Amino acid sequence: MIEFLEGAFASPLGFGLAALAAFCVGLAKGGLPVVGMLSVPILALVMPPLQAAALILPIYVISDMVGIYLYRHAFSRRNLAILIPAGFIGVVIGWATVSYMPDRAITLAVGILGLLFCVDAFFKRKRKLAPKPADVPRGLFWGTLSGLSSFVSHAGGPPYQMYVLPQRLPKLEFAGTSTILFALVNVMKLFFYWELGQLTVEGTLGPTLALLPVAVGAAFLGAWATRRIDERIFFRLVEAVLLATSVMLIWKAATS
């Protein structure tokens, strides 16, 4: 793996794509919705997807620290109480089944669910339905799926959004809850990636140090932008990115 990563970073294209992936991660940790999901597909252009996910994971974890600081006063305690245990269950399922469950099956399922959610949300918005409260059954289902898809390809955003968007949380509370949840999920993933042999100090330390300034700078930029975007536009952006990401996931599953 070390030699492969060195080869991937040896070219300007390889390092440029890695820097772009780290920039997307930082923006997401600053509060901009699911932009971080683009990181693995970007890196997958120059390396295998699972290795790409392992490479970018330390960037996620360190950027998460910035996100937690930025949103330390803005989050939903009830949602976190439901989603954190569910996310851990999803990570464990991903680790236990990684050798048996095709990545494309999970990718396709998440993409289809995200697409259906966007269609449903469009019609519900027309009917102006009341916000849904945070509830345990839905939270456990979507939280587990979020942890599972996050383990496979850092794509836990769509299931999280499908659970939380109908609650119509305030903008910063939505962003803070997402940031804190995935910060903890990413820490959980460190051990399991290491146990699978995908994460080593020798293989990830150099790329992490090289890309960290890009990710941290992008996190502050993302937080600055999140606080200045109109709340209605913010959530329309969330839905638009969710729709685009879902289509991308379906395409990826169908062509992989």
- Tens digits of pLDDT across the chain (256 residues): 334 445 555 567 777 888 888 888 888 888 776 677 777 767 766 666 667 777 778 888 888 888 888 888 889 999 999 999 999 999 999 888 877 767 677 667 767 877 877 777 676 666 666 778 889 999 999 999 999 888 876 778 778 888 998 898 888 898 889 889 989 998 998 888 888 777 776 666 677 777 888 888 888 888 888 888 887 787 777 677 767 777 877 887 788 7
Check residue 126 and give its pLDDT: 61
**How many CB atoms neighbour CB 232 within 10 A?**
9
Cα gap 155→44, rounded to integer Å: 14
Burial group, residue 50, by CB count within 10 angstroms (0-12, 13-18, 19+): middle
* Count of domains forming the chain: 1
Q: Per the structure block, which two tokens stand in for 98?
A: 């990684």
Cα gap 228→213, rounded to integer Å: 23
Check residue 204 and give its pLDDT: 66
pTM, 2 dp: 0.74
Instruction: Give the chain's end-to-end CA distance (angstroms, integer).
Output: 22
Check residue 3 and give its pLDDT: 43
Check residue 27 and give its pLDDT: 83
Domain membership of residue 238 as a residue range: 2-255
Residue from 23, 27, 21 nearest 175 by CA:
27
Which backbone phi and psi does 236 adopt, to 5 degrees?
Answer: -65, -40
